[in-house]
Chains A and B, each alone.
Chain A
Amino acid sequence: MSRYLLRRLLLLVPVLLGVSIVVFLVLHLSPGDPAEIMLGPQATAEDVAGLRAALGLDQPLPIQYAHWMAHVLQGDLGRSIRMRQPVLGEVLTRFRATLLLTVTALLLSTLGGITLGVISATWPHSVVDRLSTLGSIFGASMPSFWLGLVLMVCFSLWLGWLPASGMYGAHGAGSVADLLSHLVLPAVTLAAASMTIIARLTRSTMLDILRQDFVRTARAKGLVERAVVLRHALRNALIPTVTVVGVQAGYLLGGAIFTETVFAWPGVGTLMVQGILARDFPLVQGCVLIVALVFVLFNLAVDLLYAMLDPRIRYE
């Protein structure tokens, strides 16, 4: 197990190296020049050339990459071009907010999705099942930013129950209640699509399993239905669900960009959007590296979870 873990952790190195090369190339080869954007229309050609030189952007790409990588290896992600603040500190501060949002959404979508799935499978074609099917079609086809706006208009503007944006009230660091009230709308918005996917998957796997012989045996033994469904069927149905949850974790990290922008959530998504618009290379590269690292670790955690759920799975 520990050898497997070590091997997986070592594999992180080539993965992150690949990510760094791809993000570097995509950014530097796409149109747009940070010096032009930063200096604006009043800048002279000399101003722009001077700033490009000061930022090292006049160097050949391989040299720029090597220079950046040399610093990254020493734990220095550089300074943001537009904000002139160290990238690492900036990204880490923002990442906490993203992580809170993503984990809450993942929790919501997993628990909500499995619960809905189990209920739908246990009582197929019931009202709950039909509603959940209908909800799934909506959930999967609604763009998250649109759902976010609808929820905002309903719960903030009309009902006045929840704040429309930000992470805390404007006047102070705020209490946990303050934080939670700000978290509800973005977390629900972000979780909606994943929840419906998990619910549909759990339902179909559960329906399959509930028809299998060992379930009939369990019932014949005289086990109560609750134990049959939860202890025997659900446990077996969870393996594909966990896989999907792992995939959804990555999807949620990515989807957080839209949700954060809609709700002015101070996460790494809003930071990245600003960075991309300004072609702030070090900032975007830093954001992507950290998000990639977390994503890979998330997947590793999911793989380890398999072994916990299914004793037959062993990692050597």
Chain B
Amino acid sequence: MRLETWWSGAALAVLVLTAAGTVVLGASSVVPAQPANNLVVGLVAEPVALDPAQVTDLNSNRVGRRVVETLVAFADESTQIVPGLAESWTISKDGLSYTFKLRRGITFHDGTPFNAQAVKFSIERQFNPEHPANKLGKYPFAAYFFGNVQAVEVMDDSTVRFILKEPRASFLAILTAGAASIVSPTAALKSGQDYAANPVGTGPFKFATWDRGQRVVLDKNPSYWRFPVKVDRVIFRPITEDQARLTELLTGALDLIVGTPPDFVAQLENHPKVTLHRQVGAHVWYLGFNNSKKPFDDKRVRQALNYAVNKDAIVRDVLKGTGAVSKGPVLPGTWGDDATLKPFPYDPERAKKLLADAGLASGFSTTLWVPESGSGMQSPVAMSTVIQSNLKAVGVNVSLQTMEWGTFLAKLRTKEQDMFALSWMAGSEDPDLVMYPLLHSSQWTPSGPNRAMYKNTRFDEMLAQARLTTDQGKRAELYREAQRLLHDDPPWIFIDHEVQTAAHSKRVQGFKLHPSFDLRVETISLK
């Protein structure tokens, strides 16, 4: 090859590239305008799989739950329970059997009928090792949600009965979880191990395509039973980089983004092109003590540290308002909340006095384990650093040990922790789904999530009693008393409840964030 030829070839290539670039730059009007009735949503990460029974992350659920539905559901703006695919239900006096009357005439997106068999299939596949679909997936909630289910019985085509091993008043709340979604048995068996990438349900949108790394496309279900869906198509795009997601929203390439980074909230607050939403979610971020270890076995020490931490500063300066100061595990303003309780005020002097009363006037040294990131962890390292300096001011020397999320969870099972930063997304306002697993003494790690190894006999009794009580008013009284008890004998430093944020362009109408962290785009219409 003569060099001139090579060189002219190279020059030509540059020319072509430049020309192509120019064409592209000038061609933005040539690219077809976006279909007016398509909604484009920017997610922080790509869904892992679209079968809510097989995933634990928010993004997968936000997409997957548009396709499948549950027997009972949350109301539009709260986590109060309303009928879903079941139109009514009865609970036996002993609290052991739940009988659901199913809606008739609903079909799955593949045309097969929704019926009692499908309910039995969807739930039993998760916990029954003999079930034909049990080996087709991994079901992380099988033990946690359905370990208490003895059997699911088909009474007739539209009646199904759940038999429990022991009574549990929060069972209806469990049935609102993504893992309790009803799938098309035909589709699940046909797709086998690939079902999680081809979900089929009864929801407002049906699965269309998934271009890996690029987009998940859902099309409107024209015969949706609840209401006519106003958007033709929803396109979910994973965009990890915050600046890119924001840019795409501001340039109109995205209609809606969820999970606005704290640093951008102020910028979006008064932006003329977008509307910002905030909503406290059913979540709690806490700093757990190892209650079984000295000096944390003394409640005065635990109270002192609650007074020592400036929660307002964390919420204002680190989280930029994307958190609400917490006074305990239960979400403020919900039915189980005790409105008379107030968060521990920031009072370092009182903290020092309590420490002195406990014989620790000269302070002590301890360690705090912090995950670098993790589901629901907000800004763990920055938040823990503020806590560390707050505690130092009252004489408590904390050494921070940050670790990777999986390592962190595994290490907490060793019971060697002094203090640790962790959060919990109950996804429901039912206090049983946050207080029982995190604080009942039967739930101590390693077998349960009570990683603070908290044990308070009176508290245990109240929680157990509340599980046996089906009357919500009576349950609420028990939970309120339990919260007062936790305030006096705090198992953790109570920090915050996450305020979720979403921002959308002005053409999006009728969107609301839901306290369960679900992303209900089916309520949206486009201008």
Contact = CB atoms under 8 A, between A and B. Distances in A.
Interface of A: 31-34, 36-48, 51, 54, 79, 82-85, 90, 93-94, 97, 107-108, 111-112, 114-115, 149, 152-153, 156-157, 160-172, 174-175, 177-178, 180-181, 184, 227, 230-231, 234-235, 261-267, 270-271, 274, 278-279, 308
Contacts of A46: 143, 447
Interface stretch (B26-34, B95-103, B494-502): B26-34
A266 B212 contact: yes
Given A32-B406, A44-B447, 8 more contacts: A37-B406, A41-B375, A47-B142, A47-B144, A82-B49, A170-B34, A170-B253, A266-B211
A299 B140 CA distance: 44
26 contacts: A32-B406, A38-B56, A39-B140, A45-B447, A47-B144, A82-B48, A84-B194, A84-B196, A94-B213, A162-B25, A164-B247, A165-B245, A165-B247, A167-B214, A168-B214, A169-B34, A170-B38, A177-B23, A181-B27, A181-B31, A231-B2, A261-B241, A262-B241, A278-B48, A279-B406, A308-B1
Contacts of A115: 10, 14
Given A42-B141, A164-B244, A181-B28, A114 B406 contact: no
A177 B247 contact: no
B475 interface: no
Contacts of B413: 45
B41 to A, nearest CB: 9
Contact of A171 (B2, B35, B142): B35
B193 interface: yes
Contacts of A48: 410
B239 interface: yes
A165 B244 contact: yes
A153 B248 CA distance: 10
Given A84-B196, A164-B253, A181-B27, A40 B447 contact: no
A37 B410 CA distance: 9
Nearest to A49: B446
Interface in B129-154: 137-138, 140-144
B141 A157 contact: no
Contacts of B409: 33, 36-37, 40-41, 43
B140 A47 contact: yes
B49 A170 contact: no
Nearest to A94: B213
Contact of A261 (B214, B240, B405): B240
B519 interface: no
Given A38-B56, A157-B250, A170-B235, A235 B211 contact: no
Contacts of A181: 24-25, 27-28, 31
Tell which of A31, A39, A160, A171 has the most Cβ of chain B within 10 Å: A171
A32 B411 CA distance: 10
Task: In the A-B complex, list the 10 residue pairs whose CB atoms are closest, starting with the nearest.
Answer: A266-B213, A45-B446, A31-B407, A164-B247, A32-B406, A37-B406, A40-B56, A36-B406, A165-B244, A181-B24
Given A97-B213, A166-B237, A230-B3, A41 B406 contact: no
A18 to B, nearest CB: 26
Nearest to A263: B244
B261 interface: no
Nearest to B375: A40
B506 to A, nearest CB: 17
B138 A38 contact: yes
B447 A42 contact: no
B332 to A, nearest CB: 22
B94 interface: no
Contacts of B247: 152-153, 156-157, 164-165
